Amino acid sequence: MKTKTFFFALLFAGTSALFAQQTQPKAGADKDTHGCIASAGYTYSQLKKECIRTFEQKIQLKEIATKGNYTAAVLFNKNQSKAEIFLKEGKTSVILNRTAKRIWKNTAYSLIQDKGFVLSKNKKAVYRL
């Protein structure tokens, strides 16, 4: 009887450990559909067509509404006809098209460059440099 009980306890412990290993993600296994590893700080850039780290971009806008260190990163294409913005609340980046000199827009956002940058959402400034 003791042998049977010991055997079932050992079997249960082995299967529990096996299931625990299967449910734990491996380090670096959080690749998105483009192969970018979020845990390493990478996100996909629609303009560059590659994985980038937004905190390494030259233009970092500070959030106006909070006192925290939240930033929005801005990336331009070569001729600056498009601006790609990366926001903390967004899962993907947002593309803005240049509509005038130093102004990029889409239906919700506008980025204006004048002694720095101001990013507005629905005509309300939310980030600035």
Residue 57 lies in a domain: yes
Which letter, b or e, does each residue of 41-69 get, where b requires 16 or more Cβ atoms within 10 Å of its Cβ? Answer: ebbbbeeeeebbebeebebbbebeeeeee
Residue 100 lies in a domain: yes
pTM of the model: 0.73
Q: Are 34 and 92 in contact (CB under 8 A)?
A: no
Residue 71 lies in a domain: yes
Amino acid at 7: F
Please state the domain count of the chain.
Answer: 1
Q: What is the CATH number of the domain that holds 57?
A: 2.40.128
Residue 82 lies in a domain: yes
- The tens digit of pLDDT for each residue in 83-112 reads 999 988 777 899 999 999 999 999 999 999
- The tens digit of pLDDT for each residue in 31-77 reads 888 999 988 989 999 999 999 998 888 888 888 766 667 788 899 99
Residue 58 lies in a domain: yes
